[in-house]
Structure 1
């Protein structure tokens, strides 16, 4: 038996979360002495397969390339993958919108229980995953013949993008399942790093008071640090920032090298999405704010004074 990783991509490049997912698969491979294969489903996706073949630790890339897979419809990916699923002991996907869409369908077709959002590999059949908004860790053991797993990317190191020499095998594409139809896609294009893979994140909360303040206060700091911009759910609900900036239990999970929380009180739902950041800096005028319980550095004060002062200090260092 072998380990299979479902690659997330845009038909041209691999998404960073795939590298972390392969990192998790590599741990399972070490414990079971099994090889790692990568499944690439798309249309005109040969560049993705070639990039996957270079990844460290990958033995084989399975490329399913055809029009039914062009838009990443989960029904069609499942229909193609299910034909080879029984050949694998573990099937892993990133715990992103893409992976969460595909993995449950595979688990249902195989009649196995999905293991969601793992943060640690304890054994070949035992994994850890957060529950209660990250306030507790559950250890889950599966006796299913095929383990279908989604992986929290921020919990695992990515594999190297060079050094591998995997073979690429073509597999047949199943006919269009007909259960859904691609209508359109709206892609947000930013000049900043992608939020879930950025090394630095500057995030704002309700304390900023308005969308105008969100932009005028945070954008100069993010520009200075080459950072991605994020927001708490309260800020998103208030219209200060777009929905895809939301960090937390119901938003994106991030773990950058540096996370700067500005005007964020630190509700448990937000902490669940960022508390694994390497260094957390909090700026808030309420010294009792929960955000300070996870912060490595805390600055109590008016953010409208503190952030410009911080920018001034950064300018002085340049």
Structure 2
């Protein structure tokens, strides 16, 4: 099989989510990558160095400058004439583009896979990860999104893929880029961080979140996350949310502070290597998945922990 993997990139840098998708694609057969954007020569060079990559298709055109799915999807659909499967990371970008590709090809999409069983059979979580479905597709062309935390990242070095320019399909005029507001942070990106400190509704306010969670995260060089309850309460922005409707993470260490552990939240972090829970309720569900549990008042425990680090 020949697979085509969507390369996610930002600011001239290839994003880690692509590396996990490459690992999944390698289980299906020959791996080709697609780099779409404007002025993406540097990204294409990075992509060609990824271990296991055979070819990098580069579509360098103003129509792809902002990654609008309405423009990228027809490009992918055209390239699928020479490929058997299209894989995209199960990120905001991937989940925006893949369904449109599936519609253009008139095939089903297989979403959020966590393993490749064979050329046509995959597994994916359902019911917030409480059950695993095995999905078999008879479609001639496969359209798949990949859960990054379920696959190892392909090495960024060691590959020697060839770079090939492909013709642009142009601006379809279905959408336009108006602007963006980007929140810059010195902390690691949530989905690629090795350590994450997350806060829940028990913190009581955004001020408390900044006072207790952020100093601990800074001491550990960690990313900051939050439960949906904390986000809904307005303590922190939406992009901090970890969970089924937020970001799926699997860091080396996940510290849950004042988070009860609703199914929705557990679905986004239970694959973490080591889970540390701090909660005053000893019956909180979070303790069922925690490797280390500390029952007590977070307003006393967290400052003490931060001070001793």
RMSD in angstroms over aligned alpha carbons? 0.8
Q: Which of the numbers 220, 232, 241 marks the counterpart of 1:246?
A: 241
Q: Give the secondary-structure state (helix, strand or coil) at the position aligned to 2:149.
A: helix
**Consecutive unaligned residues in structure 1, runs of 5 or more:** 30-34
Q: Which of the numbers 200, 212, 220 marks the counterpart of 2:207?
A: 212
Determine if contact 2:280/2:297 at 8 Å carries over to the other structure: yes
Match of 1:20 in 2: 20
Q: How far did residue 86 of structure 1 move?
A: 2.1
- 1:105-120 correspondence runs (5 A): 105-120=100-115
Stretch moving more, 85-94 or 285-294: 85-94
Q: Which of the numbers 87, 105, 118 marks the counterpart of 1:123?
A: 118
Match of 1:162 in 2: 157
Aligned residues: 309
Q: How far did residue 312 of structure 1 move?
A: 3.2
Q: Give the secondary-structure state (helix, strand or coil) at the position aligned to 2:259.
A: coil
1:52 partnered with 2:50: no
Determine if contact 1:259/1:281 at 8 Å carries over to the other structure: yes
Match of 2:193 in 1: 198
Determine if contact 1:11/1:48 at 8 Å carries over to the other structure: no
The change in CA–CA distance for 1:75 and 1:11 in structure 2 (over 3 A counts) is: farther
Match of 1:267 in 2: 262
Q: Which of the numbers 214, 229, 238 marks the counterpart of 1:234?
A: 229
- 1:69-148 correspondence runs (5 A): 69-148=64-143
| CA distance in structure 2 between the partners assigned to 1:152 and 1:55 by the alignment | 19
Match of 2:275 in 1: 280
Off by >6 Å, runs of 4+ in structure 1: none
Q: Give the secondary-structure state (helix, strand or coil) at the position aligned to 1:150.
A: strand
Match of 1:4 in 2: 4
Determine if contact 2:74/2:104 at 8 Å carries over to the other structure: no
Query: TM-score, normalization: structure 2?
Result: 0.98
**Consecutive unaligned residues in structure 2, runs of 5 or more:** none
Q: Give the secondary-structure state (helix, strand or coil) at the position aligned to 1:123.
A: coil
Query: TM-score, normalization: structure 1?
Result: 0.96
| CA distance in structure 1 between the partners assigned to 2:164 and 2:20 by the alignment | 23
Q: Give the secondary-structure state (helix, strand or coil) at the position aligned to 2:164.
A: strand
Q: How far did residue 18 of structure 1 move?
A: 0.4
CA displacement 1:132-168 (0-9 Å, x = unmatched): 0111000000110011000000110001011111110
Q: How far did residue 11 of structure 1 move?
A: 5.5
Q: Which of the numbers 296, 301, 305 marks the counterpart of 1:306?
A: 301
- 1:175-186 correspondence runs (5 A): 175-186=170-181
| CA distance in structure 2 between the partners assigned to 1:312 and 1:190 by the alignment | 23
Q: How far did residue 311 of structure 1 move?
A: 2.0
Q: Give the secondary-structure state (helix, strand or coil) at the position aligned to 2:66.
A: coil
Q: How far did residue 5 of structure 1 move?
A: 0.4
| CA distance in structure 2 between the partners assigned to 1:13 and 1:105 by the alignment | 25
